[in-house]
Every structure is written in C-alpha cells, then in structure tokens.
Amino acid sequence: IFGYRRRSYLVLAGFVGFLSYLVLAFGLDTVAVVDGVDTSMAFTITIISLLLSSASIALSDVVADGIVVQKTREASERGDDAIAGGLQSLCWGSAAMGAFISAYFSGSLLESMSPREVFGIASVLPLLVSGISFLMQEEPIGKKTSNGDIQNGEVNDFEIEQAEATVGEQMSSLWAALRQPNIYKPVLFLFLWKATPTSDGAMLYFMTNDIGFGPEFLGRARLVTAAASLVGVFLYNQYLRRVPIKDVLFWTSIASVPLGLTQLLLISHYNRELGIPDGAFVFGDDVVFSILGEFAFLPTLVLAARLCPPGIEAVLFATLMSIYNGASTVGTEVGAALTKSLSVTETDFSNLALLTIICNVSSLLPLVFIGWLDGVGDESQEEMEAKGIDGFDKE
C-alpha cells in the first residue's frame, strides 16, 4: 500500500483500532437516542467494533512478527548472533512491560471511571502505533521501468520479487513449506500442546462470585502477573537459553501439573486453614504460573522463527502464530464444554475441583508426541545463535 510493505499496514491498523474504540466510547450514545432502535443494533455495533479492534491488533502483530523474523535473519547473516537470538525475548519482554503498565491502571480506572471513558482513553493507543510506524527504517518498494531501472528508492531484487508476488504464489509457497515433515510435525505438536483444556473461565467466576474479588484486585493481580512475566523473560535468557528447546517444553509441562493442582487448596478454602489469605495465595499462584508460562512460550517463538524458510518468513511466522493462538482458542472452548458437562456455573462450584484436575492432567497428553520435535527441537537457543538461526532445515 502506497509503496510500503509494512508501514502502511501499521498506519491502517492503528486507524481502524482508533475508530473501533471511539465507537465503543461515544458512538453507541448516538445510536441509543434514535427512536425505534432496539438494543440488538447496539449489541451488533459493539460486536463489530470489538472484532475490528481485535483485527487491528492482529494486523499489527503480524507486521511486527514479520519485521522480527526479517531482522533476526539479517542479524544472523551479519554475524550478530546475540542480536539475532535476543530479538524475540526483547519483543515479548516489551509486551510484558506494556501489560505491566496497562494492568497498573486497568483496575483503578474501572473503579473511578465508566467503561466507555476507559474505551475513550484506549482509543488513543492505536494512534500511537500509527505514529511510531513513521519511525521505521523502510524504503518504498521500487518499481521497474521499461528499461529495467528502479524507481522510488533503492531496494534489492528480493524485495521487488516479494512485492510482485501474487497472493496465489505466496499461498503456494506457504503450502509447500507446511507439507514438509520437519515443519508440520513441530507445528502439530505445538497445536496439541496449546489446545489442552483450561479452567480459567470457571476460576474467574469462582474468584469473583465465591471469594469476592473485585476489579481493583483483579487489576493488581494482572500487575503482578505482568511483572512476573518480565522476571520469566530474564530468567529464561539467563539460564534456559542453553537448554534444548524440547527439554524446556517437556519439563515445563511436567512442572505445570503439580503447580496447577495447588488451585485445589484455593477451591476448597484449605489455604485459609494453612493461614494463607486468598489474595496472597492468588498472587503467589499468578507469579509462579507467569514465570513458568514464559519458560514455555519463549522456546516456541524461537522454534517458530527457525521453521520459517527464506522468502515467506513473515507469512509463515504469522501462520504459525495464528495456529498457536487458534489452538489456545480450542483449549478454551474444550474447557468451556467440560465446564458445562460438569455443571459448573457462576454460582455452583461443586465440581470445580474435578474440572481443575482434568484440565491439569490432560496437559500431559501432548508429551506422547514430543518426538515430533526431534531435529528442530534438539538444539538450544544459544546453539542456534552460534550457527546462525537459519529458520529452515535443509536436510
């Protein structure tokens, strides 16, 4: 768009996000005053606005992923192995910092302001993404003239070839890559690993309706979670980047089961008999799980970056992350189905303990297929950096 492969999309995503949040903040008031308009129209507009805001975030995320993969490859080719291996950690550390800041304000804002006022404040943030995009170092894609010269900036042949590639060619290359066993097997494992059921929705109802936590406490819990995520990124870079990726995923899965079962203490209120307040228990639980989550998530990013062959790295990386996020949605839906089948509701938590046990134990099932990571997951991040992350196994 307008000769740019990435900047234009960030501007578009920021503008769409700005309008979406603006509608949520002020647009529904205009709809409500029109005579004869029922609440279904307001509901429809709300859903569309939320979908567009999510789409703008997803578009920005895809563009950022493509930039990270490209910069990782360029740094590796220059021999800057430390930069190549640290970009993913830097990105997700920055994301954790953003979550830390938003968590700090989210609970307190909801206590003192209406949701629409919060949406109004949030509408400014996508515009910041659009503004920051102009700081990117990106030359416009050149166009070939009749004599073969390049206009609109000096770019290499690879960029021109990518700019002229049709959607069909991109999809064909993507499908060819996904058909290779050394790519689709790790992808399938990551899908199964992430698609295990979760009881997060039921636990949220339990904490708000049974224990009585309010928005301010949940905001503080998010703050603690974001801070713990930063600690997790630091610890991973200090100690686990030298451990094979397959081993990190295996042992984090094993450790998550007994740690997850500690929620039974909260569900049964036995933590109170041990002298542990509910709030302190939730904070401690969130800290441990956030750190463990970073230990498990960062290796998947490194693995995904390694799987991307040259030429379609942005498309394939975005596809891998979409599959990863889709698997998370599947896990949420399976967890919701289990919640319904066990008759756990917003007021009845008699089977919540059983739901928690099933969800935690089922997370071990994907380890049966961990052999699918043989080859690509046998090396640590540091070993990949020493070789230069090639993203594509040419065996």
**In this structure, are residues 291 and 231 in contact, taking their beta carbons and an 8 Å threshold?**
yes
Residue 251 has pLDDT above 70, yes or no: yes
Query: What per-residue confidence (pLDDT) applies to 196?
Result: 93
Residue 192 has pLDDT above 70, yes or no: yes
**In this structure, are residues 73 and 83 in contact, taking their beta carbons and an 8 Å threshold?**
no
CA-angle at 249, arms to 243 and 253, nearest 5°: 130
| Three-class DSSP category at 190 | helix
Please tell me which residue, 48 or 65, carries the higher pLDDT value: 48
Please tell me which residue, 291 or 145, carries the higher pLDDT value: 291
Positions of E strands within the chain: 143-144, 150-151
Query: What per-residue confidence (pLDDT) applies to 4?
Result: 67
**Position 166 confidence tier, pLDDT thresholds 50, 70, 90:** low
**Mean pLDDT of the 135-150 span:** 58
Residue 378 has pLDDT above 50, yes or no: yes
Strongest mean pLDDT among 40-44, 119-123, 320-324: 119-123
Supply the mean pLDDT for the chain: 79
Q: Which of 294, 197, 184 is nearest to 241 (CA)?
A: 294
**Position 334 confidence tier, pLDDT thresholds 50, 70, 90:** very high
**Position 369 confidence tier, pLDDT thresholds 50, 70, 90:** very high
Query: What per-residue confidence (pLDDT) applies to 141?
Result: 64
**Mean pLDDT of the 122-138 span:** 83
What percent of the chain has a predicted confidence (pLDDT) above 70? 75
Query: What per-residue confidence (pLDDT) applies to 385?
Result: 65
Residue 392 has pLDDT above 60, yes or no: no
Q: Is the dihedral of CA 297, 302, 307, 312 positive or negative?
A: positive
85, 261, 277, 327 from 353: Cα distances, Å: 41, 9, 19, 24
Residue 77 has pLDDT above 90, yes or no: no
Residue 301 has pLDDT above 80, yes or no: no
Q: Is the dihedral of CA 192, 292, 281, 218 positive or negative?
A: negative
**Mean pLDDT of the 282-303 span:** 85
Residue 243 has pLDDT above 60, yes or no: yes
Query: Cα 274 from chain centroid?
Result: 36
Got the DSSP string for 101-128?
A: HHHHHHHHHHHHS-HHHHHHHHTHHHHH
Strongest mean pLDDT among 1-10, 186-195, 300-309: 186-195
**pLDDT, tens digit, 9 for 90 and up, residues 259-273:** 999 999 999 999 999
- Cβ atoms within 10 Å of 106's Cβ, excluding its own: 20
pTM over 0.75: no
